[in-house]
């Protein structure tokens, strides 16, 4: 994945209005995912980010639905890392019966 520049992050963090915030996140995600614009299809872009980064479904849905806390966390992540954090898949716990 590509990384954001300092200027990219400044534009991202300066967007306070909800729609401006989503537009800024859309621009940042296009850059870090190195993909062409999805004709402003927020859900398709979020699904791409979720797939590539291994997001849990609850984060994917919260981002698609523009949950303010989830969007804030995404801004923090992009600001600190300049890219998306890779999430490891959650290991499935095996029962004692399956271990035999």
- Between vectors from CA 62 to CA 59 and to CA 68, what angle results, nearest 5°? 115
Q: In sequence order, which residues have a C-beta less than 8 Å from that of residue 39 and are 6 or more positions away?
A: none
38: pLDDT strictly greater than 70: no
Phi-psi region at 82: left, alpha or beta (left = phi > 0; alpha = psi -120 to 50): left
* Banded model confidence at residue 71, pLDDT cuts 50, 70, 90: very high
Query: How far out from the chain centre does Cα 84 lie?
Result: 6
How far lies 19's CA from each of 3, 54, 55, 92, in Å? 23, 25, 23, 38
pLDDT at 22 exceeding the cut of 50: yes
Instruction: State the pTM of this model.
Output: 0.71
User: How many other C-beta atoms can be found within 10 angstroms of the C-beta atom of residue 8?
Assistant: 19
Mean pLDDT along residues 66-95: 81
For residue 95, pLDDT beyond 90: no
| Three-state secondary structure call for residue 54 | coil
Average pLDDT (81-88) is 88
Give the pLDDT band of residue 39 (cuts 50, 70, 90): low
């Amino acid at each position: 994945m590509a990384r954001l520049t300092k200027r990219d992050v400044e534009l991202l963090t300066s967007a306070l209005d909800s729609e401006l915030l989503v537009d800024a996140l859309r621009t940042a995600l296009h850059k870090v995912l190195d993909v062409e614009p999805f004709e402003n299809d927020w859900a398709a872009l979020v699904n791409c980010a979720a797939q590539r980064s291994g997001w849990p479904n609850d984060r994917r849905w919260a981002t698609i639905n523009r949950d303010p806390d989830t969007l804030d966390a995404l801004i923090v992540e992009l600001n600190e890392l300049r890219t998306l954090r890779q999430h490891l898949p959650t290991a499935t716990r095996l029962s004692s019966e399956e271990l035999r």
